Structure 1
Amino acid sequence: MITRDTDAFLAFARGCAPDFGPATAKAAFLVAPDGFARAEQSAGDNRYMADAAAFDAARASAEHRELQRALSRSLPTICFPGDPEAPDALFPNNVFATVPGRLIVGRMRHPVRQREAARSDIRAWFADVLGYAQTDLSQQPHPCELTGALVIDRARGLGFCGLSERCDEAGARLMHEAFGLRATLLFDLAPGEYHTNVVLAVLAGRTALICADGMADAAVADAVAALYAPHAVLLTEAERAAFAGNAIALSGHEVWMSAVAANALEPAHRLALREAGFALRSADLAAIESAGGSLRCCVAELF
């Protein structure tokens, strides 16, 4: 099922058992922020990106190294070198994603990011080292920025795809098929939002962090909240702006977000995560966040 009908999606999704696959990844990979700078093309539809003067490449590189060390305590985490000609390359989850035994390569909207999809070293690592097959969406015309645009409940095989300049409806269908999902809910992001994973996180298939103001239709937030009740957390505008929605569960008992995001969480929302069985983990990414993404954007998952 792939639909815009929230009622139909909710009725179907409630019948999906958490037996689709592992709820969290077995490993992760990062791409170093080499050449970290403001990408003007990306800035055209990313309101979270700072002015060029706010970019600090040395600090971003140090934060990224600490992030890898921190995540490695939760699961194996490797890091590929960055490309100075690809200043957004530190956000690989938009370009590369996996299902068991297969790499999916996305189609990026902006030419400055399309070059990331052509990286032979990353493709060869999956093919020659891991033996993964490949689904390559990068050469077709429809933008589909993978787990930036598509938030996935891996346990139940459900997708939540926010449409924007970074993902159109045809691209969403291509991703739905590539991930082999049981059902995907299509919806429009609110004006000014570029990626779903900034306004929605599904954590280990049992909890959702929802930024209702990031969705054009409040019914979408209501449906997601109903599906994950009683462990649905409706984030405030301030929490969204601090990237609290850009979170990820890398195990069944830990949720990761940036230090800025964690500090912005209201006490009731911290409690809600604890009651759902999650310990909150964070990393200082203040310099990296000037590029308009946060912790979840930095993490490409291996299933």
Structure 2
Amino acid sequence: MITRDPRAFLDFARGLAPDFGPACARAAFLVAPDGFALAEQSASDNAYMDLSVAVDPARASAQHRALQAALARDLPVLCFPGDPAAPDGLFPNNAFATAPGRLLVGRMRHPVRQREAERPDIRGFFTDLLGYEQADLRQQPGVCELTGSVVIDRARGLAYAGLGERCDEAGARALHAALGLRGTLLFDLAAGEYHANVVMSVLAGRALVIAPSGFAEPAVVQVLAALYAPHVLLLSPDQKAAFAGNCIALRDDRVRMSLAGAAALTADQKAVLAAAGFELAPVPLDEIEKAGGSLRCCVAEIY
């Protein structure tokens, strides 16, 4: 099923067992913020970026190394070198995604990001070393920045595609087919939002973090909350701006979020995560967040 009808999607999704595949990745990779800078093209449709802010490349690199060390306590993590000519490359989950035995290469909107998908080292790691099949969505119609634009519930085989400048319906359909998903819900992001993974996250297939202000239609939020109830954490606009929605569960009992995002949560919201069986494990990323993304954006999952 691929639909824009939230209620029809809910009826379909409620009948699915969480047996599509592992809820969490078996490994992950990062790309170092070498030559860390703010990309002007990306700032044109990323309201979380401010080009007037000074950045500290050394501090960004130190925070990124600390992030890798923290994530390595959850699962195996490797890090590819960065490319100063591709300053947004430290957010590899937009250009690359995986399913068991398959590497997806995304079709990026901005030329400054399109060069990331050309990297022979990342593609060769999967195709030549791991023997993964490659699904190059750049050969398909539409734009889709993979798990930036589309949030995936791996346990149920469901996807939530936030349509906007960086993902259109054709691109979402191409991702749905490449991953062999059971269902995809198409919805419009609110004006000014660039990626679905900033306004929501599905944690290990059993909990939902969601910012209603990031959606054009309240009915979509209501349906998603109903599907994952009672483990639903509703974010305020300020909490969304602190990147609390840009979180990830790389194991079934721990949520990774930036320190700013975690600090923005209330005690009641933290209790929702605890009731769902998650420990909240924040990592300082304020320097990296100046580039308009946060912890989840830095992590490309390996299934």
Q: TM-score range by the shorter chain?
A: over 0.9
User: Which residue matches 1:187?
Assistant: 187
The 8 Å contact of residues 207 and 231 in structure 1, kept in 2 or not, is answered as: yes
User: Which residue matches 2:51?
Assistant: 51
- How do residues 276-287 of structure 1 correspond to structure 2 at under 5 angstroms? 276-287=276-287
The unaligned stretches of length 5 or more in structure 1 are none
The 8 Å contact of residues 258 and 295 in structure 1, kept in 2 or not, is answered as: yes
Kindly report the root-mean-square deviation, in angstroms, between the aligned alpha carbons of the 2 structures. 0.8
In structure 2, the residue corresponding to 1:79 is in which secondary structure?
strand
Q: How far apart are 1:288 and its partner, in Å? A: 0.0
Q: Percent identity?
A: 66
Q: How far apart are 1:179 and its partner, in Å? A: 1.1
The 8 Å contact of residues 244 and 262 in structure 1, kept in 2 or not, is answered as: yes
Amino acid at match of 1:110: H
In structure 1, the residue corresponding to 2:88 is in which secondary structure?
coil
In structure 2, the residue corresponding to 1:42 is in which secondary structure?
helix
Taking the aligned partners of 2:151 and 2:212, their CA distance within structure 1 comes to 15
In structure 1, the residue corresponding to 2:90 is in which secondary structure?
coil
TM-score, scaled to structure 2: 0.99
The 8 Å contact of residues 31 and 91 in structure 1, kept in 2 or not, is answered as: yes
Taking the aligned partners of 1:139 and 1:186, their CA distance within structure 2 comes to 21
User: Which residue matches 2:116?
Assistant: 116
- How do residues 1-303 of structure 1 correspond to structure 2 at under 5 angstroms? 1-303=1-303
Equivalent residue pairs, number: 303
- Name whichever of 43-52 and 92-101 sits farther off: 43-52
The 8 Å contact of residues 37 and 52 in structure 1, kept in 2 or not, is answered as: no
- Name whichever of 286-295 and 124-133 sits farther off: 124-133
Taking the aligned partners of 2:43 and 2:284, their CA distance within structure 1 comes to 22
Taking the aligned partners of 2:120 and 2:91, their CA distance within structure 1 comes to 17
Taking the aligned partners of 1:158 and 1:178, their CA distance within structure 2 comes to 13
Amino acid at match of 1:221: V
Taking the aligned partners of 2:137 and 2:255, their CA distance within structure 1 comes to 30
1:191-239, CA deviations, whole angstroms, 9 ceiling, x for partnerless residues? Answer: 0000000001000000000100000000000000000001111111111
Q: How far apart are 1:141 and its partner, in Å? A: 4.6
In structure 2, the residue corresponding to 1:178 is in which secondary structure?
helix
Q: How far apart are 1:134 and its partner, in Å? A: 0.6
The unaligned stretches of length 5 or more in structure 2 are none
1:154-189, CA deviations, whole angstroms, 9 ceiling, x for partnerless residues? Answer: 000010000000001111110111111100000000
Amino acid at match of 2:91: F
